[in-house]
Structure 1
Amino acid sequence: MTMLPEISLAKLTSDATRSDERGRLQMACQEYGFFYLVEHGIPKEQIAQAIEASRRFFALPQSIKERYGHASQTVYPAVARGYSPLHGEILHPDAHTDPKELFGLGIENEGDRRPFAGITRFPDDALAPGFARSLLVLQATVLNQVVPQIGTALADLIEMEQGWFERHFSPPTLMQRVIRYPARGGTCGKHTDGGFFTLLLQEELPTRSLQVWFHGRWVPAPSLPNSLVVNLGDMFQVLSDDRFKSTPHQVAHSGLTDRISLPFFIYPDIDARLTSRQERHAFSVAEMMLRNMESVENGNGAGRARELQ
C-alpha cells in the first residue's frame, strides 16, 4: 500500500451516491482508521494563505515568538493555546522531545472559562501579517463545511441515534494547530489522537513524512493534491466499543525544506458526558481531554502512545 483510501465528501453528502460512499467509508475506517478526503470544498487559496502566514510567523525571532507562548495564554490548560518551541513536547515517552515547533488555537469565545475554551493571544498583524486572520478563516470553513458532514457519517457508522452528532458537537471542542517540522529531521513521536476524529491539511511536498501503522509496519501517507487526511481518534474507538481503532501514526520529515502541517483535532462539546452504543464505556469529555493533556505535559505521551513499542 502506498496510499490510503480516498473518500469524496461530495459523494458522501449527495443523495445519489451517499449509500455507496458510506460503504467505502466503513471499509476505510475498519481497515486503516485513516483516509484521504477529496472533493471537500475548502478553497485552495485559504489553505495557501494559512501556510504562507504561518511560515512568516515561524520565521520571526525566537524572542518574539516566545511572547505568545503558553505562559502568556489565559485559556485552561494553558498548553492548549499559543506557541511551543522546538523540543517543547513529547508525544512518545521513548522518543524524547519532538524537534518541531507549533502554535495552538481553538474556537474563540471571549468570556468562556471552561477548559479548552476562551481567547487565544495572537501576535498582531504588524508582527505576523495575516497569521491570526488566515487561521481563523480556515477554521470557519472547516467547522462549517467539513466537520458536520464527516462527523455525522462517522456517528452513523457506529450506529448512534439520529441527531447524535449534532446534539453533542454543537459546538465541538476544537484543538487547532499549525506545526513547523524543520528540514532534514523534523519529527513527532508515534502516538494516537485523543479526539473523535482529526482533519489534517498537509503541504503538498514530495517527501512522505506522515507515516501510519498498518499491519505491523510503518506505511507512508504521501501528500495527495487537493485532499485532507482524516483519522479516527481514541474517543471514536471508545464510543464504538472498540469495533474501530484509533490508528497510531508519526512524522519523520527528511525533506530539504520545512514542512507546515495544519491539524484540526475534533472533540465533542466540553460539557458532554457520553456513553458508547453498547453502554460498555462512559466518560466525561472534559476529564478525558484533561487527562490526555496531563499525560503529554508529564512526558508520558499522547493518546495510546504508552501502548506502542
Structure 2
Amino acid sequence: MITLPQISLMKLAAGVTRKEEFERLRLACEEYGFFYLEHGIPKEQIAEAIQTSRRFFALPQSTKERYGHSAQDVYPATARGYSPLHGEVLHPEAGPDPKEMFDLGIENEGDRRPFAGCTCLPDDALAPGFARSLLALQATVVNEVVPKLGIALAELLGMEEGWFQRYFTPPTVLQRVIRYPSTGGTAAKHTDNGFFTLLLQEELPTRSLQVWFQGRWVPVPSLPDSLVVNLGDMLQTLSDGRFMSTPHQVVHCGPTDRISLPFFIYPDIDARLTSRQGQQAFAVAEMMLRNFESIWQTGDGAGRARELR
C-alpha cells in the first residue's frame, strides 16, 4: 500500500522544523505530485460547507438550473455556477462525467477580466447558508493556506524572493463543490491545469480519489485534519518538468453521495510567467482559456488528458 507524504503547514511556514519539512515537500513534489497537508482549517467550517452543499444539491433540478452557466455574467460562463450531471468532459474517451457541480471564485464586482467578477448564487431563503459557508471557507483557504504553501513552492522552484507575492496578489481561484452520486459518480482521468489544487474531502470509508503512481491507480483516502494537495500543469511547466503534475481520477460507489470541495489555485490572470531556467513561458489567461475550451467546447478533456490512455 502506497502512502502519500504528509506535510505540516505549520512546520512549513516557520520554526526550527522548517528545513526538514521543506525537504519532505521537495520529495513530495518531485516523486509524487500529490501529498497530504495538515492545514488547521476549523472542522466546523468544513462541515458547514459540506452540509449546506448537500442541501443545495437536494433542491429540485429546475431550481438548481436557475443558477447555471446561462445565468452567470462572467467570462467564460462555464467558470461559474451550476452544472448538472454529465455536464463536463475531463477525458475524451470517457465522455461526460456523472457528477454535478457548483463553481465560484473570488467575488469582485465590476472585474471584467476572464475568470473574474461575481457569481450568481442562491440566497439564504432558497439555500440556507450555502453562499455564506462557501465564501467563508474560501477566505480561510485563500488567506491562511495558499500564501504559506505557495511561498514554499516558489522557494523550491528557485524563484527570486517575493516572486509568489508578485504573481499571486491576488491569485485566480476556481472554487468548486462537487456531488458524486453513490451509484457510480466519476471524474475521468486527467491532470489539473493550474499551479496547485487543494482538496477537502468528506471522511468517508470509500476511497474514491485515485492517483496514477508507478503504473497503477492508487487510492487516496481522506485523513483527519488534512487536505490533499496536487500539483498542476503550470507548476510542472515552471519547474521545467522537475515537479510532477500527476494524473488522477475519481471513482465513487458507496452507501452515500460524496461531496468534494476542491480549490484550483492559479496566478493572477494577467500574469505572464517564465520558468526558472527560461526554457518555458506562458500567459496565465491564455493557458486557462485553452483548457476551458478543451473541457467545455471541444470535449478533449482537462489538462494533459489526451496523453492519458
Instruction: Tell me if both proteins adopt one fold, taking TM over 0.5 as the criterion.
Output: yes
Deviation at 1:14, TM superposition (A): 2.1
Alignment correspondent of 2:9:
9
For the Cα contact (< 8 Å) 2:84–2:101, is it kept in 1?
Answer: yes
CA RMSD in angstroms comes to 0.6
Distance 2:16 2:300 in 1: 47
Distance 1:156 1:74 in 2: 37
Alignment correspondent of 2:22:
22
1:139-183 deviation per Cα after TM superposition (whole angstroms, max 9, x unaligned)? 000000000000011111111111100100000000000000000
Alignment correspondent of 1:206:
205
Alignment correspondent of 2:173:
174
Aligned to 1:24, the other structure's residue is in SS state helix
Aligned to 2:118, the other structure's residue is in SS state coil
Q: Which amino acid aligns with 1:204?
A: E
For the Cα contact (< 8 Å) 2:192–2:302, is it kept in 1?
Answer: yes
Structure 2 segments unaligned to the other structure (5+ residues): none
Counterparts of 1:293-304 in structure 2, within 5 Å, are 293-297=292-296, 298-304=298-304
Distance 2:137 2:244 in 1: 28
Q: How many residues align?
A: 308
Aligned to 2:93, the other structure's residue is in SS state helix
Deviation at 1:15, TM superposition (A): 2.2
1:211-258 deviation per Cα after TM superposition (whole angstroms, max 9, x unaligned)? 000011000001111110000000000000111120000000011100
Deviation at 1:184, TM superposition (A): 2.4
1:251-288 deviation per Cα after TM superposition (whole angstroms, max 9, x unaligned)? 00011100000000000000000100001011110000
Alignment correspondent of 2:82:
83
Distance 1:3 1:23 in 2: 17
Question: Is 2:55 aligned against 1:56?
Answer: yes
For the Cα contact (< 8 Å) 2:94–2:188, is it kept in 1?
Answer: yes
Aligned to 1:229, the other structure's residue is in SS state strand
Alignment correspondent of 2:228:
229
Distance 1:244 1:9 in 2: 19
Distance 1:160 1:296 in 2: 31
Distance 2:291 2:139 in 1: 26
Q: Which amino acid aligns with 1:27?
A: L
Structure 1 segments unaligned to the other structure (5+ residues): none
For the Cα contact (< 8 Å) 1:236–1:246, is it kept in 2?
Answer: yes
Q: Which amino acid aligns with 2:62?
A: S
Aligned to 1:12, the other structure's residue is in SS state helix
Alignment correspondent of 2:249:
250
Deviation at 1:189, TM superposition (A): 0.3
Alignment correspondent of 1:102:
101
Report the TM-score when normalising by structure 1: 0.99
For the Cα contact (< 8 Å) 2:172–2:267, is it kept in 1?
Answer: yes
For the Cα contact (< 8 Å) 1:2–1:221, is it kept in 2?
Answer: no
Distance 1:2 1:253 in 2: 20
Distance 1:14 1:235 in 2: 26
Distance 1:254 1:55 in 2: 17
- Runs of 4 or more, structure 1, over 3 Å off, are none
Distance 2:93 2:76 in 1: 24
